[in-house]
Amino acid sequence: MNTLLACAAVTSLLFTGAIFGFFYAWWCSVMWGFDVADPRVAIAAMQAANAEVRNAAFAPAFFGTPVVLALTAALAWGVSREAALVFAAGALLYLVGGMGLTLAVNVPMNEALAEVAVPEDAAAARAIWADYSGPWQHWNLARTAVSGVVLALAGLGTWRLAAATARAQL
């Protein structure tokens, strides 16, 4: 395996791991914490988090993952078509079920919540949060599961590349 391909495979693992970890952390800690907080605090905290997530630390993993996976697939084609197809499948799956789902569902929900003035009345805030949190978490769990599968595909693709390289050296 050449150095560029090895770097691409490792970068695929890092990016898929980062985005899976990001979605997973929101699923199993952040949203659960918000759900037990005062709903006025939860709404304000979610609005603040959504306003700040579009940053240079998040963008490479979110937007770069399908690009890196596709690049790895292209570079792998001459070494192992099986590995290349696994990386390509990961790119397509993330593009649709990770990034696509986020842009089609979670982002519009976040933008709608951003327009909400946090009510002083706790009951009104509780109703707003209940209408938002359940559906948002449902779709976040879906993109978390998809991203976990994509991470597994990146691992499988890397393993298949290493096996193909080992066979070629015999």
Name the pTM for this structure: 0.92
Count of structural domains, the chain:
1
pLDDT digits (tens, 9 = 90+) for 14-65: 999 999 999 999 999 999 999 999 999 999 999 999 999 999 999 999 999 9
Structure tokens at 32: 């659960």
Contact indicator for 94, 168 with CB cutoff of 8 Å: no
Structure tokens at 3: 């150095």
- Rounded distance between C-alpha atoms, residue 42 and residue 53, angstroms: 16
pLDDT digits (tens, 9 = 90+) for 11-28: 999 999 999 999 999 999
**Cβ-proximal residues to 160 (8 Å cutoff; 6+ apart), any chain:** 80, 82, 83, 86
Residue ranges making up the domain that contains 127: 3-169
**In terms of C-beta density within 10 A (0-12 exposed, 13-18 middle, 19 or more buried), how is residue 36 classed?**
exposed
Give mean pLDDT, residues 148-153. Answer: 98
